[in-house]
Structure 1
């Protein structure tokens, strides 16, 4: 350290010495504040979001408050800490990282200490006296910043939670949803974009699990919003890889919990249709004991329970045959799933093609349905599915 930079050795300074010291420090606060603002904005790019004039006023006021408090030997009072918290909340409003704000307050502490140490009126005994109070100020400022960010984040989460609830109110309502566009934008969703809906049974998803899933959704690319009501957990995702969303649901709710996945569709109307898709897929997942069913690949089986009431008179005699002759029903299903060939069906059932032909002919004789006709094969499959579902 140079002689000019080394504080003078002296006895404990008297009142007059202290007054001169603090007066000199106060005279240099404008320059000190300008230098700190320049340093912070050069080293922390996020501070470009904060208007420079506001930034300077904040720093100048903080330095004035700190120096007067240190001169009086007083700790940071509640009003001062409230002012620091208010400044921190303002930075949170600008989405400035808390780490940058803490770094800026650290720079403020560091620069003021250097100004105290470099003063021509500084003495070693005076600086030693200031070590404790300066450390107290640093700790108090850091805690005030953290408290402000925690409170601000809590407020944001509460606002987002309320907005999400209103959005799902609109989603589940029958009306056109005039407020949906604004709500979707507040939730970082593109109202004109495409959405995928996933559903699970509400009984497997207590509120804490839904909240955990919502938090976990921030770890993946895209936007995910979850809500539990009307017996269902509903997940609306946009821009997310579907496998990532399914993996998160399994991670939070358990891999064995059935999940239905709807078609990807555009807009609010698409979300509502996707909710229906996903609910049908969930019903199939539960019936088959599967962890996840995608409507895209299993749409036919997923809609059969909706078709059955419409086709009741047609289905009843066929369903009875399917229940009484399960080997014939197995042959029909295998035929549909094996490329509509006797050889492929025989391989699937470990039967000779002639045996397959016999079973399909017998099905025709008992039901009047020829599986070589698309419509009659489809009706056969609906009846067989319903028969199996009710056994």
Structure 2
């Protein structure tokens, strides 16, 4: 298992070429790693540990009962959640099984490891969409200028090649920018979709799960029970039927301990806070993206924040002559190029746009 977890470290290593922003990377790097790590953890416990232990006073072998109850699910008695533990019921959700009592069946724990893995895949889809569309363009445009140690001859030649590309493709990068915006919107929609699906997966309890856990400490001690055990019960019931010696069907009532839910409850409370945090962070990023679309000053400030060595006047002149797609590409270059090399690129690009006129006053 250590080797499986250690392999995830390479997934979150720093990128050699940046084509997005830190919030985007929280989706396809950290969220994917978190979900895959949780899936591995649950899988190891579920298939290599002892995820369920059932007890019965009858002569049914324990191994047989454990296997049956794991495969055919367990259940809780709905009204037993509101009875007093120790006098009316032995444990929250556990009571005598009689006709007419509403049963809440628990089958999700068989699927948690698979659901977590598929959630990780969905978090990577917007990244795959953007990476496929971008096609390695920025990596090819870097031309070794991300290295601060480069010969003057190579630096001059590569800067000229890069400026030639920018001049030939001026005002032709808008579509790329809007595809990137679409990928950011997909990130937000994915978080919303996954929260809704997890809510359905957990019987409509996930959306209020974190709020209930936070409010748990303020409950009356005489009435309180941990809200986590209602969604992830640690003790449940199971009914096993078989033929008796007379040929009649006999019902055997068993209680089952689910150690796997100790892990599941911690996983999903973490995911609740992580998804809420990610939702508001992604929503704020989209608001910021909208502001960069309508405000040229914000676009200028963004590029200059990435490289303060570049002339503000030269940058402003460049951005005024191009469209928002040209700003987007220049912003990506500012993240990848060495600051001094990017400053020289801005100066060379500015002089080319000005037609070779005296740009020294702006430099």
TM-score interval w.r.t. the shorter chain?
under 0.3
TM-score norm. by structure 1 comes to 0.24
**Greater helix share, structure number:** 1
Greater RCO, 1 or 2 (C-alpha within 8 Å, sep 6+):
2
Q: Bigger radius of gyration, 1 or 2?
A: 1
